[in-house]
Amino acid sequence: MTDPIKLSEAEVGKAYEVIKVEGPALIRRRIMDMGIIPGAKIKVLRLAPLLDPIEILVRGVPLSIRRAEAQYIIVRETS
Amino acid sequence: MKGTIKLALAGSPNVGKSTIFNALTGGRAWVGNWPGVTVEKKVGVMKLNGYKVEVVDLPGIYSLTAYSIDELIARNFIIEERPDVVVVIVSAINLERSLYLAVSLLELGVNLIVALNMVDLAEREGYVVDVKKLEALLRVPVVPTIAIKGIGIDKLKNIIIQSISNPRRNPAIVDYGDPIEKAISRLCSFMKTHTPEVVHTYHPRWLAIKLLENDRDVVEKVKLLPKGDLLINMANEMRKELESVVGDLEVYMVNQRYAKILEIVDKVVRRVRVKGISVSELLDTVLLDKFLGLPITITSIYLMLYFAYNVSLPLVDLVDALFSSLADYTRLILQDKAPLLASLLADGIITGVGTVLVFTPMIAIFYILVAILEDVGYMARVVFVLDKVLHRFMLPGKAIVPLILGFACNVPAVLSARTIEDENDRKTVIMICPLSTCSARLPVYLIIASAIFGTYAALAITSMYVLSIIFALVIGFLFKSFIFKGPSIGFIMELPPYLMPQSRTVLIKTWERTKRFLTKAGTVILAAAILVWLLSITGPKGLIGPEALEDPALLKASWVGAIGRALQPIFTPMGWDWGATIALFFGFMAKEVVVSTMAMVYGAEETSLGRAILAHFSPLSAYAYMIFVLLYVPCVATMAVIRSEIGLKYAVLTIMYQMVLAYLASLAVMFIGMILGLG
């Protein structure tokens, strides 16, 4: 079992599972409504050319999320 | 006629909602605003089996929370207006997420129809959705569609007719588990016996869920109803108890909804072959590449501008010629009989309105390009690539579209800021839009730079574009830091799959936007044109006559001349004479008028204007003048749209900050130039 990390620190190409969503109510709810809830699988697809935002795959849908918001998503690497 | 039916169309962004709206209504829509806010509202009409169906296009949303204005609008429309039917568009390639909205709508207790769109793309991705099973699980009708090809639309219409007489609701779609379900039914029975008014407005189960989730909008509204506070207190106590069992209740509820959706998706999706790499993924590996991504994005923006400027040039000239011959013709037939009227029509109205309308072809072409890029799905990538730059200046990624559009014309730029969800972000972006150097400013730069800077002209002009971007970003940053603070909404955006653009959607979008430009710009311009004309032919000593518009000596005695001379001392540090000052005044109408005014005031033809400018400006004062033209006040049409979008207060604020900024910036140019010994 790997240690939980923030999604903003996740590596490109790796797969993760969401453990917890933190942050202010407004941002947290927005994140969760996009299907990013505990148990959801996330794959980091790529970084934008300027390294922020990051593109992730959630529930088969590619999403762009800023690191500032990604830091509220706590994930664990899955193999 | 069997009567009017109210139908609401709901769906997330990128599921094909506008295509279905156009297919149902024939593309003709009444466009206005939702009451009290500037979120666009589109209503169309569809004749169906003797019914008149009013189709209301709800904002594109992912959910029905109280956190975003769009979601509140959609939710309150359904609660207050009670549409007879709601059609939710669910994307087959994005089933889990788009079913979330469908489930939220079911919980609201609406008579729902699901349009399962993009079934062809799902098959391309290697799976099929079992429609019959989905229908059975949701317990509402599901219609598979391929909206861009018009497939399934007739079936959808049939189902709409059926659902008018046979409504299908399923508010208890999600089972929240024992302790919560008990709390919900206790709240429901309390409502029925003690607060019947509440049940009248809201679906009881939905209201119970929202009260347990502590939804701020619902809580506030229920508080105002008789015995509402009793209900709220009861829900609050229940929440405390439940949270000791399941943790944060809001998180728990979202989880339960998604668990239900996953269960459904598991049962209805059948993979027919292994998923290969899609065209979209392939394209993105190139277009969003670490090294290529940025150059490609900047090149495509540049090409878009280049194309819009150049392709529209002959058309712009054509419109220009049309208006000037119309003015000439008016003069010809009226000159002798009624010289004053002739001048009002020709010099005031026709010329004034013409100066703005000449931009229509370019704006329309620009809109076509933007609509194509949006339709294809590339616009979202542009935002993805450039977001960091904007984020650094505390601006939303979506600000990129208004700022690019601003290079064509500030009016559509301001209007396009509507896609920005957060109110503070939107105000900020609208207020920096006029700093995008629009195409009307280019002729001013061109004539001055080529007259004064010779071989360095191109460099001087390019510097205006660079400064324009820098000023927009920096001022935006200052606004966000000091005036429009407030929390910034999470920037999460979908990167939709690339699709072929649909000429119908592109043309409808372009037409709607161009029409908005014409109505917004056209109405004020008329008034402004008459005002400027009136100030030019009259003066402190009374009527001067239309001759003032041709004779600089007479113009000097007019109100405009008086204003110019009164203001001139302010510009002494920059070394501009009263003629240059007056040209700025006329530039309020549209910036390119600065050129024709200077020509008139300096008694030169547009061809010999270069020499006249050389006589009236030093290189330093000319450059300061260019900067001033870049920054000072939005043109009348832009002012008018800023006012209609965010109110008079902000329009005035925009004018004031731009004046101050322009003055300080040009003063700084003079100062720095003097120090460097360029004076």
A12, A28, A30, A58: which to substitute to probe chain B, counting the most B Cβ within 10 Å?
A30
Q: Quick one: what percent of chain A has pLDDT higher than 70?
A: 99
* Segment A26-34 mean pLDDT: 85
Give the three-state DSSP class for B561: helix
B397 touching A (Cβ < 8 Å): yes
User: A31 vs B490: CB contact, 8 Å cut-off?
Assistant: yes
The chain A residue lying nearest B386, using CA atoms, is A50
This prediction has a pTM of: 0.86
CB < 8 Å to B492, chain A = 30-31, 34, 63-65, 69
pLDDT of residue B600: 80
Find the CB nearest B62 among A33, A48, A51: A33
CA neighbours closer than 13 Å in the CB half-sphere of residue B20:
37
pLDDT band, residue B43 (cuts 50/70/90)? very high
User: A60 vs B389: CB contact, 8 Å cut-off?
Assistant: no
pLDDT band, residue B1 (cuts 50/70/90)? low
**What phi and psi values does residue A64 have, to the nearest 5 degrees?**
-105, 130
pLDDT of residue A24: 86
pLDDT of residue B87: 97
Report how many Cβ contacts below 8 Å link chain A to chain B.
Answer: 120
User: B493 vs A63: CB contact, 8 Å cut-off?
Assistant: yes
pLDDT of residue B516: 77
Alpha-helical (H) ranges within B65-152 are 69-81, 95-107, 119-124, 131-138
Q: Give the gap in angstroms from C-alpha B385 to the nearest C-alpha of chain A.
A: 6
pLDDT tens track for B568-589 = 999 999 999 988 998 998 888 8
User: B251 vs A37: CB contact, 8 Å cut-off?
Assistant: yes
> What does B227-250 look like in DSSP terms, one character per residue?
THHHHHHHHHHHHHHHHHHHSSHH
User: B493 vs A30: CB contact, 8 Å cut-off?
Assistant: no
Structure tokens at B422: 């957060």
Q: How far is the C-alpha of B89 from the C-alpha of B674, rounded, in Å?
A: 64
* Segment B322-336 mean pLDDT: 90
- Who has greater pLDDT, B308 or B538? B538
Q: How far is the C-alpha of B88 from the C-alpha of B103, rounded, in Å?
A: 10
C-alpha triplet B203, B209, B213: angle, nearest 5°: 140
pLDDT tens track for B259-281 = 999 999 999 999 888 777 778 88
pLDDT of residue A36: 93
Q: Is the separation of the CB atoms in B97 and B122 below 8 Å?
A: no
Residue B426, class by beta-carbon neighbours within 10 Å (0-12 exposed, 13-18 middle, 19+ buried)?
A: buried
Which residue has tokens 């990167």?
A: B495
Q: Which of A46-60, A65-79, B82-96, B267-281 is predicted least confidently?
A: B267-281
pLDDT band, residue B251 (cuts 50/70/90)? confident
Sign of torsion over alpha carbons B609, B610, B615, B617: positive
Residue B26, class by beta-carbon neighbours within 10 Å (0-12 exposed, 13-18 middle, 19+ buried)?
A: exposed
Residue ranges covered by each domain of chain B: 3-165, 178-271
pLDDT tens track for B416-445 = 888 787 888 999 999 999 999 998 898 899
pLDDT of residue A70: 95
Q: Is the separation of the CB atoms in B61 and B102 below 8 Å?
A: no
Q: How far is the C-alpha of B45 from the C-alpha of B246, rounded, in Å?
A: 47
* Segment B515-538 mean pLDDT: 81
Q: Is the separation of the CB atoms in B228 and B217 below 8 Å?
A: no
Q: Which residues contact A47 (CB under 8 A, 6 or more apart)?
A: A12, A54, A55, B290
Residue B149, class by beta-carbon neighbours within 10 Å (0-12 exposed, 13-18 middle, 19+ buried)?
A: exposed
Give the orientation angle of helix B423-432 with respect to helix B457-482, to 10 degrees: 150
A74 touching B (Cβ < 8 Å): no
With a cut of 70, say whether residue A59 has pLDDT above it: yes
- CATH hierarchy code of domain B3-165: 3.40.50.300
Q: Quick one: what percent of chain A has pLDDT higher than 90?
A: 70
With a cut of 80, say whether residue B486 has pLDDT above it: no
CB < 8 Å to B62, chain A = 33-34
CB atoms within 10 A of CB A9: 10
Q: How far is the C-alpha of B128 from the C-alpha of B114, rounded, in Å?
A: 16
With a cut of 60, say whether residue A67 has pLDDT above it: yes
Residue B3 is classified by DSSP as E
pLDDT band, residue B388 (cuts 50/70/90)? very high
Structure tokens at B420: 């920005």
User: B255 vs A26: CB contact, 8 Å cut-off?
Assistant: no
Q: Which residues contact B351 (CB under 8 A, 6 or more apart)?
A: B323, B324, B327, B529
* Strand runs labelled E in chain A: 5-6, 15-21, 41-47, 54-58, 61-65, 73-78
Give the three-state DSSP class for A39: coil
Q: How far is the C-alpha of B264 from the C-alpha of B644, rounded, in Å?
A: 46
Q: Give the gap in angstroms from C-alpha A78 to the nearest C-alpha of chain B.
A: 20
* Segment A55-75 mean pLDDT: 93
pLDDT of residue B487: 62
CATH architecture of the domain with residue range B178-271: Orthogonal Bundle (1.10)
B650 touching A (Cβ < 8 Å): no
Which residue has tokens 């207190």?
A: B233
Q: How far is the C-alpha of A63 from the C-alpha of B311, rounded, in Å?
A: 35
Give the three-state DSSP class for B41: strand
Q: Quick one: what percent of chain B has pLDDT higher than 70?
A: 98
User: B387 vs A66: CB contact, 8 Å cut-off?
Assistant: yes
CB < 8 Å to B251, chain A = 21, 28, 32, 37-38
Going by CATH, does the domain composed of A5-77 fall within 3.40.50.720?
no
User: B258 vs A62: CB contact, 8 Å cut-off?
Assistant: no
Residues of B numbered 284-313 whose beta carbons fall under 8 angstroms of chain A's beta carbons: which are they?
284, 288-291, 293-294
- Who has greater pLDDT, B251 or B605? B251
Q: Give the gap in angstroms from C-alpha A5 to the nearest C-alpha of chain B.
A: 20
User: B495 vs A66: CB contact, 8 Å cut-off?
Assistant: no
Q: Is the peptide bond before B59 cis (omega within 30 degrees of 0)?
A: no
Residue B419 is classified by DSSP as G
Residue ranges covered by each domain of chain A: 5-77
CB < 8 Å to A52, chain B = 387-388, 391
**H-run or E-run covering B48:** strand B40-48
Alpha-helical (H) ranges within B394-502 are 400-406, 410-416, 423-432, 442-452, 457-482
Q: Is the separation of the CB atoms in A33 and B494 below 8 Å?
A: no
Closest CA to A53 of B282, B468, B382: B382
A12 touching B (Cβ < 8 Å): no
Q: How far is the C-alpha of B584 from the C-alpha of B275, rounded, in Å?
A: 62
pLDDT of residue B182: 95
User: B492 vs A68: CB contact, 8 Å cut-off?
Assistant: no
* Segment B74-87 mean pLDDT: 93
Side chain identity, residue B204: P
* Segment B645-649 mean pLDDT: 91
A13 touching B (Cβ < 8 Å): no
CB < 8 Å to B487, chain A = 24, 26
- Who has greater pLDDT, B102 or B317? B102
CA neighbours closer than 13 Å in the CB half-sphere of residue B582:
27
Residue A37 is classified by DSSP as -
User: A64 vs B494: CB contact, 8 Å cut-off?
Assistant: yes
pLDDT tens track for B514-523 = 887 787 767 7
Q: Give the gap in angstroms from C-alpha B171 to the nearest C-alpha of chain A.
A: 19
Q: Give the gap in angstroms from C-alpha B546 to the nearest C-alpha of chain A.
A: 58
* Segment B322-334 mean pLDDT: 91
pLDDT of residue B606: 65
pLDDT tens track for B290-320 = 999 999 999 999 898 888 888 888 998 899 8
CB < 8 Å to B293, chain A = 48-49
Residues of B numbered 435-494 whose beta carbons fall under 8 angstroms of chain A's beta carbons: which are they?
487, 489-494
Residues of B numbered 523-562 whose beta carbons fall under 8 angstroms of chain A's beta carbons: which are they?
none
With a cut of 90, say whether residue B626 has pLDDT above it: yes
With a cut of 60, say whether residue B490 has pLDDT above it: no
CB < 8 Å to B291, chain A = 49
First to last CA, chain A: 10
Q: Give the gap in angstroms from C-alpha B536 to the nearest C-alpha of chain A.
A: 53
Structure tokens at B282: 């392939």
Side chain identity, residue B38: T
Q: How far is the C-alpha of B74 from the C-alpha of B79, rounded, in Å?
A: 9
Q: Give the gap in angstroms from C-alpha B96 to the nearest C-alpha of chain A.
A: 7
CB < 8 Å to A55, chain B = 288, 384, 495
Biggest alpha carbon distance in chain A? 32
Sign of torsion over alpha carbons B357, B362, B363, B364: positive
pLDDT of residue B489: 62
The chain B residue lying nearest A50, using CA atoms, is B388
A14 touching B (Cβ < 8 Å): no
pLDDT band, residue B140 (cuts 50/70/90)? very high
User: B380 vs A64: CB contact, 8 Å cut-off?
Assistant: yes
Structure tokens at B482: 């000091």
ipTM above 0.90, yes or no: yes
The chain A residue lying nearest B256, using CA atoms, is A37
Q: How far is the C-alpha of B313 from the C-alpha of B96, rounded, in Å?
A: 48
